[in-house]
Amino acid sequence: MITGGVRVLNAGLPLIVEGVPAADVVQLDWRPPAFGDADLARLATGLDDEVTEQANARAVAAVHAVRPRLVRVRPAREVVPGIADGRTLLHAGPPIEVARMCGPMLGALIGAALFEGWASDAEDAEARLRSGQIAVSPCHHASAVGPMAGVLAPSMPVFVVEDGDRQAFASLNEGLGKVLRFGAFDDEVITRLAWMRDVLGPVFDEALRGGGPVDVTALFSQALAMGDEGHNRNVAATSLLTRRLAPVLAGLPSGIEVLEFLAGNDHFALNLSMAGAKLALDAAVGIEHSTLVTAMARNGVEFGLRVAGTGERWFTAPVGPADGLFFPGYGIEDANPDLGDSAITETLGIGGFAMAASPAITRFVGGTPDDALATTRSMRRITLAPHPAFPLPPLNFAGSPSGIDVLRVLDTGVLPVINTGIAHKQAGVGQIGAGIVSAPAEVFGQAVVALHEARQARGDGAR
Amino acid sequence: MPSVHLAAPQRVRVPTGPRPWAVARAWCIVHVGQSAIILSAGSDDAAARLMALTSRRRGLVAGGVCVPDDDDFGALARRLGATTGSAALDVNLDAWSAIPAAAIATVDLQIGPIAVRPEAVELFTALLRAENGAAPAGAAMDPRPVRALAGPLSRAALARDDRRIARLLSRLVGVGPGATPAGDDVIVGVLAGLDAAAGSLVDEAVTRVARDALGARLRPLLARTTAIARHDLTAALAGQYAEHVQRTVAALADPAAVPAAVAAARGWGATSGIDLATGTSSALARLLRRPDHQAPSTPDPEHRRSA
Amino acid sequence: MSSPDTETLQAKVFPRLYRDSVALMALASSIEKREGVVRAGAVMATPGNLEILGRSAMLPPDLTAAPDDLVLVVRAQDEQTASDALEAATAGLTATEQSGGPREEVAPQTVREGLAAAADATLVTVSTPGPYAPAVVESALRRGLHVFCFSDNVPLADEVRLKRLAVDRRLLLMGPDCGTAILDGVPLGFANVVHPGPVAIVAASGTGAQEVSCLLDDAGTGISQLIGVGGRDLSADVGGLMTELALDLVATDDASEIVVLVSKPPAPEVADRLLARLAGLGKPVVACLLGAEDADGPVVVRGTLEGGAAAAAALAGTPLAIADVAVDEDAAAPLSGGVLGLYTGGTLASETKVVLGRAGVPAEVLDLGDDEYTAGRPHPMIDPSARVDRVARAGADPDVALVLVDLVLGHGASPDPATPLAEAVRGARGAAAADGRELVVAGSVCGTAADPQDIEAQRRILREAGVVLYPSNAAAARYAVVRATGSLPTDPTLLHRQETA
């Protein structure tokens, strides 16, 4: 009567299937779904149908089809939409009022205002920010992303990555130490930013004209095979990028200066990784009914999540400090709550999701290669498909788990992991550690409620 | 020798008695696992003391420290885990002496007075019998022959048959699969069963005589097993049992709690939980069959001989 | 397999290496699965273990190791295989560094993950806490899987919604609160080991279906399918959604020749449609509707489980013979008090109420499996001790002269439910006797000879404790009628009907 014979998945008490031949039973390690919220579990299951499945298949195919190419490095004002209107600065994470910002982000905005010449001193800059004379807006709203504070000003050079007629942008990485993205804004920082504007940007752009465009997907695919994970370890990608452009750079005026800068900045390629990931994920924004996550970002106060089927809406929850390994002399009490747009890499399926590729990083964030493999494997449980362009050797060259599915997160209770650097809570002190954080559970619950409402609204409209 | 300073956890749970971290100045890392970190005071000495730092899920073990906050525990494991593979490191716990008294919960690891109910023991035994119906999945070495000695050991102990105790212990100590060999788990289980029955099923004098008889024959054999098993056996001889053992034993006062207790035992190690539970159930089943327990008894030849 | 003298034995010692035992087990079994490996072991090198290795010819003569060392031994068909295996195992030990905790053993957790692990699954059994059951059920149905839902406390609205979803997809949703099923011979939940045969049972009642299937088995026929639908299926709200689908399925099931429906009487709105459906099923049908008037129309209706089983057995050509109550001198002695029923099976309790009610015998009949009595404890069929206290209390109650009990065997039930009940009966009867009263305890055992508990042993335990046993629950209830009234009932519907085909 049962076509295919009685073959059982048992969710619950083993005694229910006591009489079934053991070979015909798979015992599930069932746990309460949706973090224990039965109503939410019901909503999530209600969405888990053919409509969602097809929408997700379209969404993940669209993301995987994007092949970002690094074509130019241009001043932000020329390319980033909206940044040249009035006095506007962009920042990391979901939207936030200046009054609620954390120290490093406010510091970075002050630095950017000084860098643009919009204020006479730090006090003046802060007053102008607080009064709204200088407007702020998330990078994500302008097809851009930035690590840590993620502050972007019109004069700063940005990577321009494109695929067809679509573009995404990211700032250039300043290196470690006293840097704007950790909220520092003294002369040393401003001087470096000016050099980046006047020398690094134009020279790099010139080099790209000769040696570009650079296939970003191919670059990071190769870097993953060389021990990077594309978020916290970028030494391979930076080296590959440098090698690619070195012959041209070496022949340009100030080219050696630029090469020296690249030689001293292991994280230079991070921002390129982020821009590529942003471009890829933007391909899925607005795909109706899709439960694919298109952005995860932190502003130092809140964690923000965006989902394809709910377009540009943010789901937010308070974010705490990352608990990781701290540099000597620092501890969690010094740490700023988690910060930056860099979780866009995990959203695509690299960074924390590709931990298995990067034995070196596991030591840095605490843990072992075995933990790393377990992390990558557990991310498979919440993602839609392996990324075809990112095969990982420790997974027998299966692709890195890619495309976070809100429904799978609720179903399993497994939260996306994010590799992160840890910023000091005081502006300008810089990085004090690194670790692994999980996205907060609440945002996934909010997303399911919103997706459900969207489905109801459309359903009612159709009737 | 380089040393790693471990920050103190927010909160800890420890057994009654001296603070475990205070018994030595320097510790070596024996193992860093997902739910237990094992440190050893001193290095190669066979009598070295072990201290297990355990997660909330694993629970407090004798002579150990339970770090109930998962994040705290994870931080310790990561810090120590990151050092494995490097040269021998000392672990320094000086910071722990500053843990405020309010953050230290003290747990008595003696098996408290339990009103063991015969029907709970019967259910427990029946469930374990079912459990022992098949070899544990994936076990390359079958623990069941070792478990089968639990009944005879209990009987010999209750009969104070020293020769038989010695013969059985030599077939149990350090024998069987696992980092705590199955035989050692069985012995710990038998001792726990005796302690659980004391004062509820039978007079305390009965079990005291039996555990003394076991102890006398067991101590000389301790060098024949692993340091971790030796630690567990020594603690059990002193009447100290890990919290997960306590939970199993507590279920014997309430038949309704027994199925869950057996299910939980299935989850400790590959075979350890069931090894131990089998020991406990054997000891209690033997006690229930004694004439000084009111239940109808079958004649016990060993008992008659020594009585 | 090659002979032992061409085999080779190699070992490797890892000094003072501690690994979680789960990791050791996994390692040893993965080595053993390698091509050409005869046996492998990964144990701590204690004297006891070395001796065992020696006895099984797995100990190289030159091996020296201490108790805290880990030893890996491999017996293989040739040197190369052995050394390759050891090398792989060494790598495996490094790979399992820091591992072995539960995080490592990622068992499938959700229906989706279960299907990934077993793509050929056809059915999901659900016994999660009730509030979560709808999500699991829906997830299963949407993936085309039948569902057996043991969970209770599922909201009615969810039941209706999910059963509609199931019916749309022609999938069975047995439950919520479904206790038993036998599908193509495979038992789920509480089910007895019955012979295969021509009778299909569709049941909105768990122990009712068990009693009917056991009586049919006893009569010498057997069961093709037993489909539970959950106790609320024939209510006005659910409207018999799953009963109808189950009837459709058995109507087209070649193994099913006779159909028995077991339920409380359906809601009036549902009854007419249901009876019409039954009448047009194309197969002989017995509707066993507890408490209904017996009728012999196109659909045979019986008001007791025993009556339904007897009618179906007659249709199958294997009449059910129940030895009826004989009124002897003892039995005729009037009872000193009332009748108390202490049941673990809800439908058995209902049947007893029907039999006693028809005879006008007042009685208190309790279903101890009801939420009211379980109060968070396991169901008394799983944990028989739950009934013990109440039986014991009856012994001290001068108002109780006769206690009726059931004992349900089969898969899922306690391994030895008779012993605790027998102990309690002995105690209660002793207490009553000490008080100068007689406490009569009567009942039946719902089970078959093939059930895992050994039905004869269980019966013996009860009889030895003084329980008067009858072959069916209805017969035990009739015995109570005889004792309470001092005579056999005169109304023929109260007697066991000798049905003929």
Which pLDDT tens digit goes with each residue over A261-274?
Answer: 999 999 999 999 99
Give the rounded percent of residues in chain B with a pLDDT score beyond 70: 86
Among B71, B78, B84, the residue with its CB nearest the CB of A325 is B78
Strand runs (DSSP E) across chain B, as ranges? 3-5, 12-15, 26-32, 36-41, 50-55, 65-67, 90-92, 104-107
Residue C103's pLDDT band (boundaries 50, 70, 90)? Answer: very low
The answer to whether residue A74 sits within a structural domain is yes
Least trusted range by pLDDT, from B148-162, C81-95, C287-301: C81-95
* Among the four given CATH numbers 2.40.50, 3.30.70, 3.90.1720, 3.40.50, the one describing domain C4-95: 3.30.70
Domain boundaries, chain C: 4-95, 112-315, 329-494
- Is B27:B40 a contact under the CB 8 Å cutoff? yes
Q: What is the CATH number of the domain that holds A338?
A: 3.90.1700.10
A-chain residues within 8 Å CB-CB of C114?
9, 11, 26, 28
Q: What is the CATH number of the domain that holds A245?
A: 3.90.1710.10
Residues in C 56-75 with any Cβ partner in B closer than 8 A:
67-68
Distance CA C386, CA C370 (A): 12
**Strands C70-76, C8-14: parallel, antiparallel or unpaired by DSSP?**
antiparallel
Contact C124 A10 (CB under 8 A): yes
Question: Which residue range(s) make up the domain with B82?
Answer: 3-107
Give the rounded percent of residues in chain C with a pLDDT score beyond 90: 56
The answer to whether residue B113 sits within a structural domain is no
A-chain residues within 8 Å CB-CB of B7?
331
Instruction: Decide yes or no: CATH 1.20.140.10 for domain C329-494.
Output: no
Distance CA C486, CA C202 (A): 38
Least trusted range by pLDDT, from A328-337, A342-351, C439-448: A328-337
Contact C99 B170 (CB under 8 A): no
Subunits touching A (CB < 8 Å, at least 3 pairs)?
B, C
Q: B45-80 burial, b if ≥16 CB within 10 A, otherwise e?
A: eeebbbbbbbbebbbbbbbbbbbbeeebbbbbbbbb
Task: Check if B179 contacts A (Cβ < 8 Å).
Answer: no
Residues A157 and A270 in one domain: yes
* Residue B185 confidence (pLDDT): 95
N residues, chain B: 307
Does residue C329 carry a pLDDT above 60? no
Contact C99 B34 (CB under 8 A): yes
The answer to whether residue B266 sits within a structural domain is yes
- Is A425:A431 a contact under the CB 8 Å cutoff? no
* Residue C65 confidence (pLDDT): 85
Least trusted range by pLDDT, from B301-305, C356-360, C376-380: B301-305
Q: How far is A440 from chain C (nearest CA, A)?
A: 20
Q: What is the ipTM of this complex?
A: 0.85
SS (H, E, C) chain A: CCCCCCCEEEECCHHHHCCCCHHHEEECCCCCCHHHCHHHHHHHHHHCCHHHHHHHHHHHHHHHHCCCEEEEEEEHHHHCCCCCCCCEEEECCCCCCHHHCCHHHHHHHHHHHHHHCCCCCHHHHHHHHHHCCCEEEEHHHHCEECCCCCCECCCCEEEEEEECCEEEEEECCCCCCCCHHHCCCCHHHHHHHHHHHHHHHHHHHHHHHHHCCEEHHHHHHHHHCCCCCCCCCCHHHHHHHHHHHHHHHHCCCCHHHHHHHHHCCCCCCHHHHHHHHHHHHHCCCCCCCCCEEEEEEEECCEEEEEEHHHCCCCEEEECCECCCEECCCCCHHHECECEECCCHHHHHCCHHHHHHHCHHHHHHHCCCHHHHHHHHHHHHCCEEEEEEEEEEHHHCCEEEEEEEEHHHHHHHCCCCEEEEEEEECCCCCCEEEEEEEECCHHHHHHHHHHHHHHHHHHHHHHC
Distance CA A229, CA A145 (A): 18
The crossing angle, in degrees rounded to 10, of helices A38-47 and A441-462 is: 50
Residues A100 and A220 in one domain: yes
Does residue A219 carry a pLDDT above 50? yes
Q: How far is C161 from chain B (nearest CA, A)?
A: 33
The answer to whether residue B40 sits within a structural domain is yes
Q: Which of B107, B129, B153 is the last residue of a domain?
A: B107
Mean pLDDT of B228-240: 92
**Mean of all residue pLDDT scores within chain B:** 82
Residues 6+ apart with CB under 8 A from B118: B201, B288, B295
Residue B75's pLDDT band (boundaries 50, 70, 90)? Answer: confident
Among C110, C148, C412, the residue with its CB nearest the CB of A412 is C110
Among A20, A27, A370, the residue with its CB nearest the CB of C186 is A20
- Residue C168 has a CB neighbour count (10 Å cut-off) of 9
Q: Which of B75, B107, B139 is the last residue of a domain?
A: B107
Does residue A222 carry a pLDDT above 90? yes
Least trusted range by pLDDT, from A229-233, A428-432, C245-249, C312-316: A428-432
Among B74, B75, B82, the residue with its CB nearest the CB of A363 is B82
Residues B231 and B143 in one domain: yes
Among C22, C48, C97, the residue with its CB nearest the CB of B174 is C48
C-chain residues within 8 Å CB-CB of B34?
98-104
* Residue C61 confidence (pLDDT): 86
CB pairs under 8 A between A and C: 166
Specify the higher pLDDT residue, B41 or B298: B41
Residues B149 and B270 in one domain: yes
Residues B216 and B101 in one domain: no
C10 bridge partner residues:
C74
Among A5, A19, A42, the residue with its CB nearest the CB of C184 is A5
Q: Which of A368, A370, A378, A419 to mutate to test the interface with B (most CBs of B within 10 A)?
A: A368
Instruction: List the end-to-end C-alpha distance of chain A, in Å, as a whole number.
Output: 37
B-chain residues within 8 Å CB-CB of A324?
78
Q: B158-173 burial, b if ≥16 CB within 10 A, otherwise e?
A: bbbbeebbbbbbbbbb
Residues A16 and A71 in one domain: no
Task: Check if C120 contacts A (Cβ < 8 Å).
Answer: yes
Task: Check if B59 contacts C (Cβ < 8 Å).
Answer: no
Residues B142 and B87 in one domain: no
Residue C106's pLDDT band (boundaries 50, 70, 90)? Answer: low
Among B141, B171, B256, the residue with its CB nearest the CB of C377 is B256
Distance CA A128, CA A136 (A): 11
Distance CA A364, CA B82 (A): 8
The answer to whether residue A37 sits within a structural domain is no
* Residue B173 confidence (pLDDT): 94
Residues A96 and A214 in one domain: yes
The answer to whether residue A248 sits within a structural domain is yes
A172 bridge partner residues:
none
Task: Check if B223 contacts A (Cβ < 8 Å).
Answer: no
Residues B79 and B224 in one domain: no
Contact C118 A9 (CB under 8 A): yes
| C398 Cα distance to chain centroid | 36
Contact B7 A371 (CB under 8 A): no
Contact A381 C113 (CB under 8 A): yes
Q: Please report, for residues A89, A282, A305, A371, B235, the alpha-carbon distance to residue A81 in angstroms, rounded to integers and kept in the order given.
A: 12, 15, 22, 41, 70
Radius of gyration over every alpha carbon of chain C, rounded to an integer in angstroms: 29
C-chain residues within 8 Å CB-CB of A22?
none
pLDDT (tens digit, 9 = 90+) per residue, B193-207? 999 988 777 888 888
Q: Which of B78, B80, B86, B262 to mutate to test the interface with A (most CBs of A within 10 A)?
A: B78
Among B225, B259, B272, the residue with its CB nearest the CB of C46 is B225
Does residue B292 carry a pLDDT above 70? no
* Among the four given CATH numbers 3.40.50.261, 1.10.8.60, 3.30.70.20, 3.30.70.1350, the one describing domain C112-315: 3.40.50.261
The answer to whether residue B112 sits within a structural domain is no
Does residue A201 carry a pLDDT above 70? yes
Q: How far is A16 from chain C (nearest CA, A)?
A: 4
pLDDT (tens digit, 9 = 90+) per residue, C449-471? 999 999 999 999 999 999 999 99
Q: A360-380 burial, b if ≥16 CB within 10 A, otherwise e?
A: bbbbbbbbbbbbbbbbbbbbb
Contact B82 A366 (CB under 8 A): yes
* Residue C499 confidence (pLDDT): 58
Residues A153 and A214 in one domain: yes
Question: Which residue in chain C is spatially nearest to A12 when comparing CA positions?
Answer: C127
Q: How far is A427 from chain C (nearest CA, A)?
A: 37
Residues A159 and A208 in one domain: yes
Q: Which two tokens stand for residue B21?
A: 């971290």
Contact C100 B32 (CB under 8 A): no
Distance CA A293, CA A301 (A): 20
A401 bridge partner residues:
A386
Least trusted range by pLDDT, from A236-240, C55-59, C167-171: C55-59
Residues 6+ apart with CB under 8 A from C494: C355, C358, C359, C478, C481
Distance CA C395, CA A158 (A): 89
**Mean of all residue pLDDT scores within chain A:** 92
* Residue B277 confidence (pLDDT): 94
Contact C383 B178 (CB under 8 A): no
The answer to whether residue A215 sits within a structural domain is yes
Q: Which of B85, B107, B129 is the last residue of a domain?
A: B107
B-chain residues within 8 Å CB-CB of A368?
81-82, 84
Among C40, C98, C388, the residue with its CB nearest the CB of B33 is C98
Residue B134's pLDDT band (boundaries 50, 70, 90)? Answer: low
Contact A325 B71 (CB under 8 A): no
Residues A223 and A113 in one domain: yes
* Residue C230 confidence (pLDDT): 94
B-chain residues within 8 Å CB-CB of C422?
none
pLDDT (tens digit, 9 = 90+) per residue, C168-225? 999 999 999 999 999 999 999 999 999 999 999 999 988 999 999 999 999 999 999 9
Contact C122 A33 (CB under 8 A): no
B-chain residues within 8 Å CB-CB of C426?
none
Number of domains in chain A: 3
N residues, chain C: 501
Residue A331's pLDDT band (boundaries 50, 70, 90)? Answer: confident
Distance CA A379, CA A351 (A): 11
Residue B85's pLDDT band (boundaries 50, 70, 90)? Answer: very low
Number of domains in chain B: 2
- Residue A139 has a CB neighbour count (10 Å cut-off) of 30
Residues B33 and B55 in one domain: yes
Residues A265 and A394 in one domain: no
Residues A228 and A153 in one domain: yes
Task: Check if C417 contacts B (Cβ < 8 Å).
Answer: no
* Residue C25 confidence (pLDDT): 67
Residue B268's pLDDT band (boundaries 50, 70, 90)? Answer: confident
Radius of gyration over every alpha carbon of chain A, rounded to an integer in angstroms: 23
Residues 6+ apart with CB under 8 A from A435: A322, A323, A324, A325, A365, A366, A419, A420, A422
Residues B85 and B232 in one domain: no
* Residue C498 confidence (pLDDT): 54
Residues B88 and B158 in one domain: no
Specify the higher pLDDT residue, B24 or C275: C275
Does residue C485 carry a pLDDT above 90? no
Residues A241 and A300 in one domain: no
Residues A289 and A244 in one domain: no
Task: Check if C374 contacts B (Cβ < 8 Å).
Answer: no
Residues B230 and B102 in one domain: no
pLDDT (tens digit, 9 = 90+) per residue, A51-95? 999 999 999 999 999 999 999 999 999 999 999 988 999 999 999
Task: Check if C47 contacts B (Cβ < 8 Å).
Answer: yes
* Residue A272 confidence (pLDDT): 98
Contact A19 C124 (CB under 8 A): no
Does residue B183 carry a pLDDT above 90? yes
Question: Which residue range(s) make up the domain with A428?
Answer: 50-58+285-462
Residues B151 and B253 in one domain: yes
Q: Which of B44, B78, B123 to mutate to test the interface with C (most CBs of C within 10 A)?
A: B123
B-chain residues within 8 Å CB-CB of A323?
71, 74-75
Residues A423 and A450 in one domain: yes
Q: Please report, for residues A369, A391, C91, C327, the alpha-carbon distance to residue A359 in angstroms, rounded to integers and kept in the order given.
A: 5, 15, 16, 85
Does residue A367 carry a pLDDT above 90? no
Residue C101's pLDDT band (boundaries 50, 70, 90)? Answer: very low
pLDDT (tens digit, 9 = 90+) per residue, C272-322? 899 999 999 999 999 999 999 999 988 999 999 999 999 999 999 999 988
Residues 6+ apart with CB under 8 A from C171: C141, C144, C145, C146, C147
